[in-house]
Amino acid sequence: MPPFTDGDARTSIVEAASAVFAQKGIDGVSMRHIAREIGVSATALYRHFDSKNALLSAACEAGFAEFEARIDATARAAATPLDALRQLGGVYVDFALTHPMHYDVMMIRPHQWALGPNPERDPESFAGLIAVIEACQAAGQLAPGDAREAAHRLWAALHGVASLAIAMPGEIRGLEPEPVRARADAMVEAVIATLT
């Protein structure tokens, strides 16, 4: 791996460390191991992150930013708010399956550090889901009601599908990406049916 420049060191370290976490798991690697794996000295790593939790927090922040960008792009590109809501199931599952380490520390085993500096504030991804549901309600595509509660229902349904696929990929048949996406689509439709 080429040496990091000052300007991109932090971002490069987070990206490289995320790959190590994804390959080795978050519990079994130390800061020294991460430094060795990504080709920097432990001193250089500690210059940017004072602990493994700080590095994991930065990885979570990057993961949430990407997840939020995907949700926002989907909502903007959809023909109607309801189309956006239906497409979000695929976005959710695709993110979880392509970023299992991020999903693990963001959604399955979150720690206080995973929630960022303002844990009382909803992550932008959840706020984006609420906004899509509110847009559906405003367009008459969903019944009026508590959009936050509706978002929780949808999130719970999608989380069940995604976390099961990540937690037990080899133990249960039918957890390849396409069946998981189909299940997510079915869960979105089931939740929509309760909101219309």
What is the chain's mean pLDDT, rounded? 82
Q: Are 139 and 196 in contact (CB under 8 A)?
A: no
Q: Could you tell me the residue range of the domain that residue 15 belongs to?
A: 1-50
- Residue 107 shares a structural domain with residue 179: yes
pLDDT band per the 50, 70, 90 thresholds, residue 29: confident
In a domain, 40, yes or no: yes
pLDDT value, residue 39: 82
CA dihedral (174, 177, 180, 182) in degrees, to 10, reads -110
pLDDT in tens, 137-189: 999 999 999 999 999 999 999 989 988 888 776 665 556 788 888 889 999 99
- Residue 134 shares a structural domain with residue 182: yes
CATH at 146: 1.10.357.10
User: Which of 7-21, 89-103, 118-132 bottoms out in mean pLDDT, i.e. has the lowest?
Assistant: 118-132
pLDDT value, residue 137: 96
Q: Greater confidence, 8 or 111? A: 8
As a whole number of angstroms, the distance between CA 151 and CA 130 comes to 6
Cβ atoms within 10 Å of 95's Cβ, excluding its own: 21
| Mean pLDDT of the region 32-36 | 84
- Residue 85 shares a structural domain with residue 137: yes
Per the structure, how many domains does the chain have? Answer: 2
In a domain, 56, yes or no: no
Q: Are 42 and 85 in contact (CB under 8 A)?
A: no
In a domain, 15, yes or no: yes
In a domain, 133, yes or no: yes
Q: What end-to-end distance do the CA atoms of the chain give, in Å?
A: 53
DSSP 114-160: GG-S-TTSPPHHHHHHHHHHHHHHHTTSS-SS-HHHHHHHHHHHHHH
Structure tokens at 30: 């130390």
Q: What percent of the chain has a predicted confidence (pLDDT) above 90?
A: 27
What is the pTM assigned to this prediction?
Answer: 0.76
